[in-house]
Amino acid sequence: MGKKTKVAIAIAAAGAAAWAGSKAISKPQKREDKEALQYEHPIILAHRGGSLIAPENSMAAFKKAAELGVHGFEIDIRLTKDEEIVVFHDEYVDRTTDGAGRIADMTLSELKAFDLGYQFINEQQEYEFRGQGETIITLRELFEEFPQMLINIDMKDSPETYEGSLIPSKLWRLIEELSAQNRVVVTSFYDEQIDRFNLYAQNTVALGAGENEVRKAYSAYTSQFGHLYHPRADVVQIPVKSGVFPLDGEGFINFLTKLNVPVHYWTINDPQVMERLLKSGAKGIVTDRPDLAITLLADRLA
């Protein structure tokens, strides 16, 4: 037996021993149940209210989605200049005739002057919502209008900004004031923001996974050391693919599900893709077309 072969065998043996040792001392730790995530069948979340059926983030969109029978909403939030939490995705808002303005540099009253229906065109190529009073809404307004809905909240402001430094505490105070702990999921692309929020929430609110947490989960799944992964999120909300890495495999879904971490996929508007994901074990579909998703789910449950 050559020297190189002996070295290779020794390395393999050491790797196997390390794996066996870690397997013996580390057991998978399931996440504790969160009331907001206790549902008997997969759920449909209207993305920004259902941005292909009405202007995104408008009260009209949320009302339409609720009438269709969705289980909840997937929304983004930002902080205004006067420290109000508004339901909005982009950092800048198109003021139609006045150019663009940054959300954090504008007050709520200034933002309320913006017509959310200005650019939305329905399937009949009509501007049916233009000039109909659809304006930016606050998170408080959404909570109070839909007390029965699960709301997945994504904090969009970067933790490096002033508004980003404030929004975790502001969000927690609003949730606590309205006793909404059991009907929200709080997340962010920034893992740091989720950690900041949880300093206040102390695990009383269901937490989503930031980008780094998703990477850790996928790396653990594709390695031989998945048993070393201890999830720090209560739910994972992901696209079907990140770069060249597929995130929609049944094995990955099962890996997380066994840790009591349901998987939701965004933003899925094709019923065939919805069906495939649900068959693979997905627990939630985030969609711009809640009308199509609700019909498909109803057929599955019939």
Tell which residue, 186, 254, 159, 139, has the closest CA to residue 34.
186
| Residue 154 three-state SS | strand
89 is catalytic: yes
- Pairing status of strand 72-79 against strand 85-87: antiparallel
- For residue 193, give both structure tokens: 């923001």
Catalytic residue of the set 41, 47, 230, 264:
47
Q: How many CB atoms lie within 10 A of CB 239?
A: 13
| Residue 14 three-state SS | helix
Determine the straight-line distance between the first and last CA of the chain, rounded to whole angstroms. 65
41 is catalytic: no
Q: Backbone phi, then psi, for 96, in 5-degree steps?
A: 55, -95
- CB 182 within 8 Å of CB 35: yes
Catalytic residue of the set 41, 71, 89, 230:
89
Q: Backbone phi, then psi, for 178, in 5-degree steps?
A: -95, 5
Tell which residue, 210, 214, 172, has the closest CA to residue 194.
210
| Residue 12 three-state SS | helix
Tell which residue, 186, 182, 170, has the closest CA to residue 138.
170
> Annotated catalytic sites, by residue?
47, 89
